[in-house]
Amino acid sequence: MKKDSPFVEDQAKEALNFQITVAIGLAASGVLSPIGIGIGLGGVVILLNIIFCILGTMAASKGEKYRYPVAIRLIK
The predicted structure's pLDDT at residue 1: 56
Task: Report, in this order, helix, strand and coil percent for the chain, each rounded to 5.
Answer: 70, 0, 30
- CA 21, 16, 13, 63 dihedral sign is negative
**Whole-prediction pTM value?**
0.83
**pLDDT tens, position by position, for the chain (76 residues)?**
566 788 888 888 999 999 999 999 999 999 988 888 888 888 899 999 999 999 999 998 898 999 989 888 888 8
Q: What letter represents residue 29's amino acid? A: S
